[in-house]
Each structure stands twice: as structure tokens, then as C-alpha cells.
Amino acid sequence: MVKWAEDYGAVIDSLGICKIAYQAMGLSPDMVAKSYQAVTGIEMNAADLLMAGERINTLERLLNLKFGLTPGLDTLPARFTDEPISDGPGQGETVDLDRMLGEYYALRGWDPVSGYPSQAKLLELGIATY
């Protein structure tokens, strides 16, 4: 869910659509793709749109790594990992950040140690060089 939201959010940002308005209006990726196609004449569907968002996030990752933002900086405030939830269905639980990051990196096609996207992921996204 996080990956999908990040990829779709990157597209929304790129198109200059207000993030609050698109949520309030319930704009789905399919609706945005159809609108994009109507305006530009470029064929686009929801899958293409989300792949564009994934490409954006992958390029952002490469830039972050280039400028020294290592995987060690992919973290949350200690409050999320150290302080148990005080009430509700998750009472007593904390965030298992290492597990979550491992799953996230796998979904993104990123190396779990270096944080770099795999060559296969780069080729899938059409990023031959960077």
C-alpha cells in the first residue's frame, strides 16, 4: 500500500494536481490516465501511469543515494519503534522497522544492503543510465 501511494502520489505531483483535491474527488489512476490521454493525445492507462510514478520514485532514490542519503537514514522517530501503542487494537505493539523496510525494499526491487535499485528493476523501468 505504501509503494502504491508513493507511486501514485509522484504522478499526482508531476501533473500538478492538488493532493487534497484528488483524494476528495476520488480520482482513480484510471481516471487520471484517461484525462492525461485526452489532454496530451498520448496513450496512457492506469498501469502505465503507476509505472511512471515508480520510475519517478526510483530516480529520486538514485539521486538520494548519489548525494549520500544511505539506507541507514530510512528510519522513523524512536517513538514509533520504541514506545508501544498505548490502547486500541494494536495495544502493546511497536513498529518492526527492519522487517517493514525489508519488505518495502523487496517490493521496490532495491538491494537490502546498499539500497540501490537492481539492474533488472532499472531495465524494467526503462532507466538504462543515470
pLDDT band for position 25 (50/70/90)? Answer: confident
The pTM of this model reads 0.88
Name the nearest CA neighbour of 109 among 101, 97, 117: 117
Specify the amino acid at residue 32.
Answer: V
Class of domain 2-124: mainly alpha
Phi, psi for 110 (deg, rounded to 5): -105, 145
CA dihedral 56, 57, 59, 64 (to 10 degrees): 140
Domain boundaries, the chain: 2-124
Give the mean model confidence (pLDDT) for residues 53-59.
Answer: 98
pLDDT band for position 128 (50/70/90)? Answer: confident
